[in-house]
Amino acid sequence: MKKKYELEFTLNASPKILFPRLSTPSGLSEWFADDVNIVGNIYSFYWDGSEQQAELISKKENQFIRFRWLDEDDDEEDTLFFEFKIHQDELTGDVALVITDFSDESEITEANNLWISQISELKRTLGI
């Protein structure tokens, strides 16, 4: 059974600049995958010659985007997703990216480290 976890990263970027990097093939291929293609609501992500597909479940412009991996074997497949949520503090204007994902409990540390590495790449592409 996979366990849900969330990570939050403060980013010095406006939601209007950040959201396209979370939701478009060109934006996602800058930091998340080697290449990304979309057909309808199906995103194909390519890493080192392998492909994984995810269905776009929902999104709200400049706020969040949620995907569901299509190859999950888990019995709880409908509840497993990964999500990028942009949170902007009303008082300070600070922008945070909140990532929600699922992983086997024994692999959460490894998954966290992978996200940290990916977000470092996102920051580099944003110039922050």
CATH number of 33's domain: 3.30.530.20
Q: What is the pTM of this model?
A: 0.89
Q: How many Å apart are CA 111 and CA 59, to the nearest integer?
A: 23
Task: Output the six-digit token pair for 22.
Answer: 């979370």
Report the domain count for the chain. Answer: 1
Q: How many Å apart are CA 21 and CA 18, to the nearest integer?
A: 6
Domain of residue 39 covers 2-126
- Alpha carbon 121 to chain centroid, angstroms: 13
pLDDT tens-digit profile, the chain (128 residues): 889 999 999 998 999 999 999 999 999 999 999 999 999 999 999 999 899 999 999 999 999 999 999 976 655 555 689 999 999 998 999 999 999 999 999 999 999 999 999 999 999 999 98
Other residues' Cβ atoms within 10 Å of the Cβ of residue 27: 18
